Structure 1
Amino acid sequence: MVVFVKSTIHYFNRRELFRRTWLSFSYVNGLMIRPVFVVGSISSSTRNAKLIDEETWRYGDILQFNGPDNYRNIALKSLAGMSWASDNLPDNVFYSSADDDVMVDLVAMTAALKYLVARVERVGWPEFPIACMYKEWSGAKPERHNNSKYYISNEEYKWAKWPKFCLGGMYTTSVRVARQLWDLSRRYEPLRMDDVWITGVLREKLGMPTDMVLEPSGHVATHWKGYRGQTSRDIRGFMWKEWKELKDKLVNVTLCSYDAK
C-alpha cells in the first residue's frame, strides 16, 4: 500500500508526527506500507520552500506538484497523487488517500483489507471496492450557502444530493481503480471537495455501484478531533500508552554486538 497524505507545506510537524507514529511501521500483517506526502508549490525564495527541499532530501517521501497549496484546491492534490500512482505503481498495489490530521489503526486496516479481498473473490466484483477507512456518507446535500468553505454552486453541481461517498479522512482502493478515476477526471472540471468528487461523483460516472463503497465494521481511522476530551489531547500525553509500550520493548534489548577480540 502507498498512502498519499494531502498536506500543506508549512505543516512540517504533522508530517513528522505521522512518520513517528502510524506511518513509522513499514510492514504490518504481511502488508508493506509506504507514505507519500502531497503538497503544492510556493515561491522558491521563501523559507518554507527551502525547508521543504530539505525535508524532501532527508525523507524522500514528498510529492510536490505544480499547483496551489491551499484548501480550495485540495482536489488537485488528490489528483496529483492519483496521477503519480497511475504512472509509477502496478495495478495490484493498494492506493490510499488520507488527510494529515487522522490517526490510523494499522491492524484494523489490514484486517479490513483481508476481509475485502475475500469478499471480492466471493462476490465476483470485477474491481476492488472503495473502502471508507474513516467514514462513508449517504444522503448528504451540497452546501448552498456561499459563506461556507464547502459551498457548491448549482453551476458546479446541480443535483439535490451527493452520491454515496467516503469522507476524506482516509479511503482505500486499488491502483487500478485509482488509475481509471484519474483518467476519467481529466474530462471534467474538479469540485473543491475531493472526497465527494473522487469517491462519489467520479466513481458514479465510472459505473462503480453504490454497494462497492464500503465502511469496514471495525474502527480504522480517527480524526484528531476525536481525541478531544481524552487525556491524550495534551501533547505530552498524546499516544503516551503506545510510546511507552514501544519503549518497554526496546529497553535492555541488544541491537548489535562487537567482539573486541
Structure 2
Amino acid sequence: MLSRKLLLCFFGFLATVFWGKQFFITSPVSKNSKSKLHYLTHTVAAVHDQKQCLVAATNNAALCNEEELPGNFAQILSEPKPKLKCGENGMQSPWKLNRHAWMIFVIKSSRNNSELRKVVRETWGSVLGLGGKFFGYMFVVGVDGVVSENLSIENSRHGDILECNVQETYRNLPLKMMAAFTWITKLRHMTTKFISVTDDDCVINSGLMLDEFERYGVTDDGNRIYCGYKYDEQLRPARNNNSKWHIPKELYPNKFYPGFCHGALWSLSPKIIKKLVCVFYFTEINQFHLEDVLITGILRRKVGGNITATKALENETLLVYHTGRKKDPASFMKKTWKEWKPEIIVGREKVEKRGNSG
C-alpha cells in the first residue's frame, strides 16, 4: 500500500499536468526533467493565483452596488481576453532594468518623445540609489506599424524602453499600461517592493518619496495603491464632447468614479499588480480610455484593494511636478530639477550612474 505522502505527491503531479496543459502550456517544455518540473509547478501556481483572483473579484463585484461600479465593469467575463504582449518578436525590452531595485518607475511615454526621455535620464532618472535603496526606470511605448531605427538605437544605448504591441494613441493608454503590467508579472526572480507609475513630462522628488514611504511605514501588502499626486474620491465623468477626458453616459452611466489616483504619480506593489492584471483580462472595458481611473479606481475596487492619498506633506512640498500642458515641458523639467536636486541628495548617500545594478 502506498503511503499517504506518496499518494498526495502522485495526485499533485496529475493535477499539475492536467491544469498546465488545459490552461497555460503554449510552447514545448524543455526535455530536462528539472526544467519540466519547474515549468509545470510555476504553471500550477499561476492557475491557482488566477482562480483566487477571480473568486475574490467575483465576491467584491457582488458587494459593489450600482453607485460604485456599473454592471458592465462589475461583471466577470466567462473567457479571458487575448493577452497583451511587450518586448517580444523584435519589440524593444529594458535589458538594463534593475529588477532588484527597491522601486521601479514605470514611465508612460510614446515613441516620438525621445527628447523628454533624454531629460528624464539627465535629471531625476539619473538617481539610481539613495540611502541604501535603489531605483529602476523603464519607459513604456506602443507601436505605430513602422519599425523605428532611432528607437532601437536609443534602447541599445540605454536599455530602458519597453515596447508593447498596442497602437500608440492616447486612447489606448489603458491597454499599454496593462500590457506593461502583464510583462512585469512575468519577470522571474524580481525582488522589487514597489512599482511607481508616472509620465515622461514629470519630475519626481525621489528623496522625499523615500522619506515618506519610511515615515508612514508604507508596506507592499498587496492590497493598497498610494497616490503621490492627487486623489479624487467623487469625480464626475466629463460629459462634454470636447473634453480630453470625455466619457459618454452609455459607456460609464454612474454619476461618480470610484476613488482613484491621478496619473502623474501612483505607487503599488507587484502583489496587487498581479491581481489587477488577472481581473483586467476578465473585465470588458470597451472604449474607456482613462487609465488612472480604470486601474487605480475601477479595477482596484474590483479586486478589493484600498487607496491611500500620500501627497500632503509638511510645507506643501510635492512628490511630483507635472508640467501638464506647458508648451516646453523639457525646460520646466530641467528648471524644477535644478531647484529640487540639492534637497534630494542632502544627507543621503547617492548613486548617480546609469546602468548600476545595485
TM over 0.5: yes
Identity level (%): 28
What is the CA-CA distance between 1:18 and the residue it aligns to? 0.5
Work out whether residues 208 and 319 of structure 2, in 8 Å CA contact, stay in contact via their aligned partners in 1.
Answer: yes
- Paired amino acid for 2:204: V
What is the CA-CA distance between 1:187 and the residue it aligns to? 1.2
The aligned residue for residue 80 of structure 1 is 179
- Paired amino acid for 2:195: Y
What is the CA-CA distance between 1:225 and the residue it aligns to? 4.5
The aligned residue for residue 251 of structure 1 is none
Deviations 1:230-249 (A, max 9, x none): xx7496x5644567999xxx
The aligned residue for residue 156 of structure 2 is 57
Q: Supply the distance in 2 between the matched residues of 1:149 and 1:226 (Cα, whole angstroms).
A: 12
What is the CA-CA distance between 1:215 and the residue it aligns to? 2.3
Which residues in structure 2 correspond to 1:186-205 (within 5 Å)?
Answer: 186-190=281-285, 191-205=288-302
Q: Supply the distance in 2 between the matched residues of 1:234 and 1:39 (Cα, whole angstroms).
A: 20
The aligned residue for residue 122 of structure 2 is 20
Deviations 1:59-110 (A, max 9, x none): 1111001111111111112112211111116475211111111111111111
Q: Supply the distance in 2 between the matched residues of 1:30 and 1:245 (Cα, whole angstroms).
A: 17
Query: Judging changes above 3 Å, is the alpha-carbon distance between structure 1 residues 225 and 44 closer, same or farther for their aligned structure 2 residues?
Result: closer
The aligned residue for residue 255 of structure 2 is 160
Work out whether residues 124 and 337 of structure 2, in 8 Å CA contact, stay in contact via their aligned partners in 1.
Answer: no
Q: Which residue, out of 205, 221, 237, partners 2:320?
A: 221
The aligned residue for residue 132 of structure 1 is 227
Q: Supply the distance in 1 between the matched residues of 2:142 and 2:245 (Cα, whole angstroms).
A: 20
Deviations 1:187-236 (A, max 9, x none): 12332000000001111111124xx33224322011125999xxx7496x
Work out whether residues 164 and 213 of structure 1, in 8 Å CA contact, stay in contact via their aligned partners in 2.
Answer: no
The aligned residue for residue 108 of structure 1 is 208
Alignment partner of 1:42 is 2:144 = yes
The aligned residue for residue 253 of structure 1 is none
- Paired amino acid for 1:101: D
- Paired amino acid for 1:59: H
**DSSP-derived class of the 1:97 partner:** strand
**DSSP-derived class of the 2:244 partner:** coil
What is the CA-CA distance between 1:50 and the residue it aligns to? 1.2
Q: Supply the distance in 2 between the matched residues of 1:147 and 1:188 (Cα, whole angstroms).
A: 27
Q: Which residue, out of 33, 36, 40, partners 2:135?
A: 33
- Paired amino acid for 2:114: F
- Paired amino acid for 1:222: Y
Q: Supply the distance in 2 between the matched residues of 1:87 and 1:226 (Cα, whole angstroms).
A: 35
Query: Judging changes above 3 Å, is the alpha-carbon distance between structure 1 residues 234 and 172 closer, same or farther for their aligned structure 2 residues?
Result: closer
Query: Judging changes above 3 Å, is the alpha-carbon distance between structure 1 residues 2 and 239 closer, same or farther for their aligned structure 2 residues?
Result: closer
Q: Supply the distance in 1 between the matched residues of 2:245 and 2:303 (Cα, whole angstroms).
A: 24
What is the CA-CA distance between 1:24 and the residue it aligns to? 0.5
Q: Supply the distance in 2 between the matched residues of 1:241 and 1:59 (Cα, whole angstroms).
A: 26
Work out whether residues 7 and 100 of structure 1, in 8 Å CA contact, stay in contact via their aligned partners in 2.
Answer: yes
Alignment RMSD = 2.7
Q: Supply the distance in 2 between the matched residues of 1:27 and 1:234 (Cα, whole angstroms).
A: 20
- Paired amino acid for 1:188: T
What TM-score do you get using the length of structure 1 for normalisation? 0.80
Query: Judging changes above 3 Å, is the alpha-carbon distance between structure 1 residues 205 and 91 closer, same or farther for their aligned structure 2 residues?
Result: farther
What TM-score do you get using the length of structure 2 for normalisation? 0.59
Provide structure 1 residue ranges, at least 5 long, that are not aligned to the other structure: 247-261
Query: Judging changes above 3 Å, is the alpha-carbon distance between structure 1 residues 42 and 27 closer, same or farther for their aligned structure 2 residues?
Result: same
Q: Supply the distance in 1 between the matched residues of 2:117 and 2:218 (Cα, whole angstroms).
A: 34
**DSSP-derived class of the 2:143 partner:** coil
